[in-house]
Amino acid sequence: MQIFGVDIGGSGIKGAPVDLDRGDLAQERCKVLTPHPATPDGVADGVKQVVEHFGWTGPVGLTFPGVVTDGATVRTAANVDKSWVDTDARALFGERLGGLDVTVVNDADAAGVAEMHFGAGRGRKGTVILLTFGTGIGSAVFSDGVLVPNSELGHLELDGHDAEKRASSKAKDDHDLSWEHWAHRVQKYLAHVEMLFSPQLFIIGGGVSRKSHKFLHHIEGIKAEIVPAQLQNNAGIVGAAMRAAEGAGGPASG
């Protein structure tokens, strides 16, 4: 079964048809830059460009970098334009995509669902936390495989700031940090999250997951196991498609 997934990020909008039997992209993904400012209309145009690139006419799952309630309404917009707040994203994308069946989910929650079903969290019980390091820090919290949605742990306070302002991959680039220096910031953040939630496993996702060999060995003193996301930066696309498949009567994601 194939369903289309789109992952909307602070820097890029990427999507592709997803093979839900394998938990992998069925075709090479298409990516466009997220417009700045990232207004609802501008982002919707980018999504339309990605979907039309494949001539897709079936259900579409989309991630959004913020809290999404009832599968439709945006409640926070830390890394996109503030005009997103209270927008009915499902209605907006559905209209822009010509009436296609649309599902919208928090971006890190989508990535987490994919990793728990197909990737590094498969079969893991207890508390598992996926953290995506990109323009911000997204989080997905699972208890015995069940998602606690919209956790937004990237906004925990760290050194008097939102954690994502200190430890996201964007912060690494903005401050020209070495991998080791940045890893120490990530370590401090993980220690704070671990103190609050006592997880058995941290899964590190986002674009940096494919470069885990450059920084994970610098992180020390964390009791939980720390592993890179197996689906790497495609996890959001896969998870979005999984959620859309549920809405279309497809297999549940667990």
In the chain, which stretches have pLDDT less than 50? 251-254
Greatest alpha-carbon pair distance for the chain in Å reads 51
Q: Which of 53, 19, 60, 10 is nearest to 234 (CA)?
A: 19
Q: Do domains 2-106+234-247 and 120-230 have the same CATH topology?
A: yes
Which of 3.30.420.40, 3.40.50.300, 3.30.310.160, 3.30.465.10 is the CATH number of 2-106+234-247?
3.30.420.40
Three-state secondary structure readout of 103-142: EEEEHHHHHHHHHHHHCCCCCCCCEEEEEEECCCEEEEEE
Q: What is the pLDDT of residue 207?
A: 87
Q: What is the pLDDT of residue 249?
A: 53
pTM higher than 0.85: yes
Domain ranges for the chain: 2-106+234-247, 120-230
Which CATH architecture group holds 120-230?
Answer: 2-Layer Sandwich (3.30)
Other C-beta atoms closer than 10 Å to the C-beta of 217 total 11
Q: What is the pLDDT of residue 21?
A: 96
Angle at 87 between CA 82 and CA 89, to 5 degrees: 115
